Amino acid sequence: MLSTMQDVPLTVTRLLVHGVLVHGRSQITTWTGEAEPQRRSFAEAGVRAVQLANALRDELGVRGDDRVATLMWNNAEHVEAYFAIPAMGAVLHTLNLRLPAEQLVWIVNHAADKVVIVNGSLIPLLAPLLPQLPSVQHVVVSGPGDRSPLQGTHARIHEYEELIADRPKTYDWPELDERQAAAMCYTSGTTGDPKGVVYSHRSIYLHSMQVNMTQSMGLTDQDTSLVVVPQFHVNAWGLPHATFMTGVNMLMPDRFLQPAPLAEMIERERPTHAAAVPTIWQGLLAELNSKPRDVTSLTQVTIGGAACPPSLMAAFDKLGMRVCHAWGMTETSPLGTVSRPPSHAVGTEEEFAYRLTQGRFPAGVEACITGPGGERLPWDGESVGELAVRGPWIAGAYYNGPDAEPLRPADKFTEDGWLKTGDVGTISPDGFLTLTDRVKDVIKSGGEWISSVELENALMSHPDIAEAAVVAVPDEKWGERPLATVVLREGATADFETLRAFLAEEGRIARWQLPERWTIVEAVPKTSVGKFDKKVLRRQYADGQLDVTRLG
Amino acid sequence: MLSTMQDVPLTVTRLLVHGVLVHGRSQITTWTGEAEPQRRSFAEAGVRAVQLANALRDELGVRGDDRVATLMWNNAEHVEAYFAIPAMGAVLHTLNLRLPAEQLVWIVNHAADKVVIVNGSLIPLLAPLLPQLPSVQHVVVSGPGDRSPLQGTHARIHEYEELIADRPKTYDWPELDERQAAAMCYTSGTTGDPKGVVYSHRSIYLHSMQVNMTQSMGLTDQDTSLVVVPQFHVNAWGLPHATFMTGVNMLMPDRFLQPAPLAEMIERERPTHAAAVPTIWQGLLAELNSKPRDVTSLTQVTIGGAACPPSLMAAFDKLGMRVCHAWGMTETSPLGTVSRPPSHAVGTEEEFAYRLTQGRFPAGVEACITGPGGERLPWDGESVGELAVRGPWIAGAYYNGPDAEPLRPADKFTEDGWLKTGDVGTISPDGFLTLTDRVKDVIKSGGEWISSVELENALMSHPDIAEAAVVAVPDEKWGERPLATVVLREGATADFETLRAFLAEEGRIARWQLPERWTIVEAVPKTSVGKFDKKVLRRQYADGQLDVTRLG
């Protein structure tokens, strides 16, 4: 028996039309580094998006599902591209300007982007790569910056403002299937080639509703959101789409992501909400300590992308900025969990602990954790397993070129289509996720998992230890066992036996998880973004380059 | 180009599973009229829903899209039925216990309900009808009430608690298409046969997300919602589904809908939110005036179903209960608009006026108003037209029996599938709806519309007029013109000329809209629910029963 409800597709087009019609007064404010920011209403941005769609079709020949890439900061023009491109049926491809050049080249070629819209300030990044990007027929430049490096390549160069000026202010938007591609974003995987996630109109629409739910970000048109998280990172966590749904004002930092201008824009433009990764907030906190500002408008801060250190959360609480922790990834659109404490914990000592978890699963995200043998583990807050998720805004495959079948690597997707996140942790009986490690770093010891991160945190809480990294090394009896690699502070006196005893004290670490293998290094090897490079440590161990002591 | 996102259906099953898993501690509290209410957690209700599904399948033979009807008050068992029936793939059919007996019979036969779950207190209503309900094979009784009137009919009688006891606590829920029927509800149309709206899993899921958006009801698991609006009225405005999505606690009044028990349950159970039609609140207000209670917990009140009188809104504001006006109908699931004032009006004199409008359209509800000639009118806050809406939780047809094509009457649906609401009003430039009349009551005068309600309100603001009803009567020159029917107060001195001049004063009513035809009656004829019965007035005029004076 079929329902009698209307069959109306969930599309980005609808978000655009709604934002302009119903929330036309809401504002996108873009920082310019000058006395006055650029101010543009949703109504104005919407008309410009329509003009952009007309220009892309009539002047640049964008057709069907052509890919139109953006290499842009967060600004009003990037928002216009966010709506114009999917609404006309084409695919928005946001390029991560932090990637190494060779990855950018690989990604643009893999997606076969036809057009790149670039901010003038990013021409020095794009221009040298253009000769290696044969699919790119057009480059559209927006904002200040020297254009000359673009001359003499195969691509036609356009000025954004000239291109859209005098274009029609209406567009007969196509009827779209909600499962059609709307946007794509590549993961900057640390191993192997980048992998493309292709968002559908449906996934973006549903994710926007989720962002606007009270237990997610829960903003209204009385709010202004400082969108620090880049638009080239997973749809800027859904904020540009979600704001057009409900009229939340956006404050866009453009390229001014340093602590000083961020502090200034908070003081001057008085956002009520902001979203960014922890490192941004660490920088802002230091800035505010050295140069106090009036940041009282900012009462809600969404932190994701990496775990929020407890000290940072506490410091922000003191400033009246309530931190809300969230977890997600490119493959999850990204809203996977949001850490709003449950009602029974509000106002109790438990509350802070709940807020430090990765958060609670919304109805749209089904979750399970599976143990080393692939068995499903209970939600008891103790069983540690790999997190897999399922839902309408979760990826079920990767893009594999226009004519190829989607890619479903077995380490990324289960046979029945769930996303294997690669994250390891526990789920509490009330659906709160606590991540403790990555699958590739966890120590698989005799059918049980030992968290490298837990061992590291316990080691680093000893006063003699400056840094500690723990990696899995092969073991004949257990398969794998942990190797503790420590950097001692000056004047340290503790020996390995003492450190091992310290780990066992007060139930810090279960006895069977205590490392037998120990080594001292001068510094833990690090990746280009400052994370422990455990691959290097494992290789050094395998090559016998480490001086390892064996206890017990 | 297809997206790479997972294709996960939006189903009521998902809401049930999520509510139990993640919000298992949240409570459904049902008033019993005794010292202690019945308290049941979502986890407990969820397990009982699973047991109910097992019983319906294994004991009662419910299969496929069989209809299972409920004739029940708001209580935990009704919530269990709300989830068990759609999750097993069957169709929940909520029966309106306020309907005349012959309409109930018509509706049950039209839907061919196989099972009726009935509250014991409603057996006196159901038992006499059963002989006329041949499709009903089973009656399941829940709660107190004399069972004996059910004896001796063709249906098998079951006790709810006995039926579900000892059933399995798991159910292998079927994979459902999200467009499949989940629930149905008939409109109690004042003319013609009742019309069945069949909600899909998709429409219910999306509507639940909308209810949980901050600009709709915006509740969290720290809230308790007093669900006065009956579960047999348009899914109780979506609350049972929406609460399982986010863990909002429910306080259910069962059959205790009188002002005194409502006031008592507010004082004792301290809900933070409540939802009901204006008459309930008028009664509660009178009760609180005569017997003050501590109702300070209740800070948010959603009012819909009929326009909220400004005096009621003001009185509730004084009590610290913030009224939020909403508009919808059976065909709209029902959330059509919600009146949260726009940011620029907050804290200004405009704010109250905004709150009195029917509210703002969410992204999921596309709206247009069309004039008498079918032309689309602008959103200027002045152009008056009939409201039509489109969206994924809006009906596009009516149910027409299991084997017949859905019904799409031309006065209810446009050719391209929009729902014609029958409501007449304006839309402001920022998307706020103000309803002024019903299409059937509006006066179609020379290609323009005159609102009968506006004329009535203007007339009733004159001190000599106790009541006034305005209906359209045929006019040779204009097609239709208004007839003013007034009830004078004792000692009134105004004549028709004076009243006509009063209407024209200070721009109350445009000159071309002033009635020429006037009549005095002793009382305006009323329907059984106390509304003006304009059909009777029009007939009395046509039959020459009214003493009409013609002016001008």
Do A285 and A315 form a contact (C-beta atoms < 8 A)? yes
Q: What is the mean pLDDT of chain B?
A: 95
Query: What pLDDT digit, counting tens, does each position of B38-49 carry?
Result: 999 999 999 999
Domain residue spans of chain A: 12-335, 336-434, 441-550
Look at A215 and B215 and tell me if their CB atoms are within 8 Å.
no
Q: How far apart are CA B426 and CA B432, in angstroms?
A: 8
Which of A22, A208, A379 lies at the smallest CB-CB distance from B430? A22
Integer CA distances (angstroms), B428 to A170, A308, B376, in order = 21, 44, 14
Cβ contacts of A221 on chain B, cutoff 8 Å? 215, 342-343
Cβ contacts of B22 on chain A, cutoff 8 Å? 360-361, 363, 430-431
Strand ranges (E), B138-207 = 138-142, 156-159, 181-187, 195-200
Q: Catalytic annotation on A512?
A: no
Which is the catalytic residue, given B77, B178, B287, B331? B331
Query: What pLDDT digit, counting tens, does each position of B137-150 carry?
Result: 999 999 999 999 99
**Is residue B505 over pLDDT 70?**
yes
Look at B218 and A214 and tell me if their CB atoms are within 8 Å.
yes
Do A352 and A311 form a contact (C-beta atoms < 8 A)? no
Look at B366 and A14 and tell me if their CB atoms are within 8 Å.
yes
Give the per-residue pLDDT at B145: 97
Do A401 and A110 form a contact (C-beta atoms < 8 A)? yes
- The dotted CATH code for A12-335 is 3.40.50.12780
Return the axis-axis angle of helices B76-87 and B12-22, rounded to nearest 10°: 130
Residue of B2, B6, B205, B350 to mutate for A, most A C-beta atoms under 10 A = B6
Give the per-residue pLDDT at B230: 96
Whole-model pTM: value is 0.94
Look at B221 and A212 and tell me if their CB atoms are within 8 Å.
no
Give the per-residue pLDDT at A191: 65
Model confidence at B374, in pLDDT bands (50, 70, 90)? confident
Note the ipTM here.
0.94
Model confidence at A374, in pLDDT bands (50, 70, 90)? confident
Residue found by looking up tokens 């790999």 in the block: A386
What's the sign of the alpha-carbon dihedral A523, A527, A530, A531? negative
Which of B21, B363, B392 lies at the smallest CB-CB distance from A18? B363
Cβ contacts of B209 on chain A, cutoff 8 Å? 206, 209-210, 213
- A91 in B contact zone (CB under 8 Å): yes
- B181 in A contact zone (CB under 8 Å): yes
Q: How far apart are CA B67 and CA B93, in angstroms?
A: 6
A 10 A CB-CB count for A505 gives: 9
Do A135 and A114 form a contact (C-beta atoms < 8 A)? yes
- B220 in A contact zone (CB under 8 Å): yes
Q: What percent of chain B has pLDDT over 90?
A: 88
Give the per-residue pLDDT at A189: 62
**Is residue A307 over pLDDT 90?**
no
Mean pLDDT of B343-358: 93
Q: What is the mean pLDDT of chain A?
A: 95
Model confidence at A271, in pLDDT bands (50, 70, 90)? very high
Model confidence at A403, in pLDDT bands (50, 70, 90)? confident
Give the per-residue pLDDT at A127: 98
Give the per-residue pLDDT at A424: 95
- The architecture that CATH gives domain B441-550 is 2-Layer Sandwich (3.30)
Query: What pLDDT digit, counting tens, does each position of A448-486 carry?
Result: 889 898 899 899 989 999 999 999 999 999 999 999 999
Backbone angles phi, psi at B283, to 5 degrees: -65, -40
Cis geometry, peptide bond prior to residue A334 (ω within 30 degrees of 0): yes
**Is residue B531 over pLDDT 90?**
no
**Is residue B117 over pLDDT 90?**
yes
Give the per-residue pLDDT at B189: 62
Q: What percent of chain A has pLDDT over 90?
A: 88
Cβ contacts of B419 on chain A, cutoff 8 Å? 6
**Is residue A226 over pLDDT 70?**
yes
The top-level CATH class assigned to A336-434 is mainly beta
Mean pLDDT of A150-170: 97
**Is residue A33 over pLDDT 80?**
yes
Give the per-residue pLDDT at A457: 87
Look at A6 and B394 and tell me if their CB atoms are within 8 Å.
yes
Give the per-residue pLDDT at B97: 94
Element containing residue A58 per DSSP (H, E): helix A42-58
- A375 in B contact zone (CB under 8 Å): no
Closest CA to A231 of A68, A75, A27: A75
Count chain A–chain B contacts defined by CB atoms under 8 A: 218
Closest CA to A71 of A115, A110, A116, A31: A116
Look at A206 and B209 and tell me if their CB atoms are within 8 Å.
yes
Mean pLDDT of B187-211: 91
- The architecture that CATH gives domain B361-439 is Roll (2.30)
Look at A8 and B198 and tell me if their CB atoms are within 8 Å.
no
Chain A nearest CA to B518, separation (Å)? 41
- For the purposes of burial, counting CB atoms within 10 Å of the CB of B257, is it exposed (0-12), middle (13-18) or buried (19 or more)? middle
Look at A2 and B181 and tell me if their CB atoms are within 8 Å.
yes
- A303 in B contact zone (CB under 8 Å): no
Q: Tell me the β-bridge partners of A387.
A: A369
Chain B nearest CA to A364, separation (Å)? 8
Look at B220 and A247 and tell me if their CB atoms are within 8 Å.
no
Q: Catalytic annotation on B535?
A: no
Chain A nearest CA to B312, separation (Å)? 26
| Count of residues in chain A | 552
- A380 in B contact zone (CB under 8 Å): no
Q: How far apart are CA B465 and CA B486, in angstroms?
A: 7
A 10 A CB-CB count for B375 gives: 10
Element containing residue B536 per DSSP (H, E): helix B534-542
Cis geometry, peptide bond prior to residue B334 (ω within 30 degrees of 0): yes
Which is the catalytic residue, given A440, A444, A478, A535? A444
Mean pLDDT of A105-119: 97
Model confidence at B191, in pLDDT bands (50, 70, 90)? low
Element containing residue A474 per DSSP (H, E): strand A465-475
Q: Catalytic annotation on A331?
A: yes
Q: What percent of chain A has pLDDT over 70?
A: 99
Give the per-residue pLDDT at B529: 64
Q: Catalytic annotation on B318?
A: no
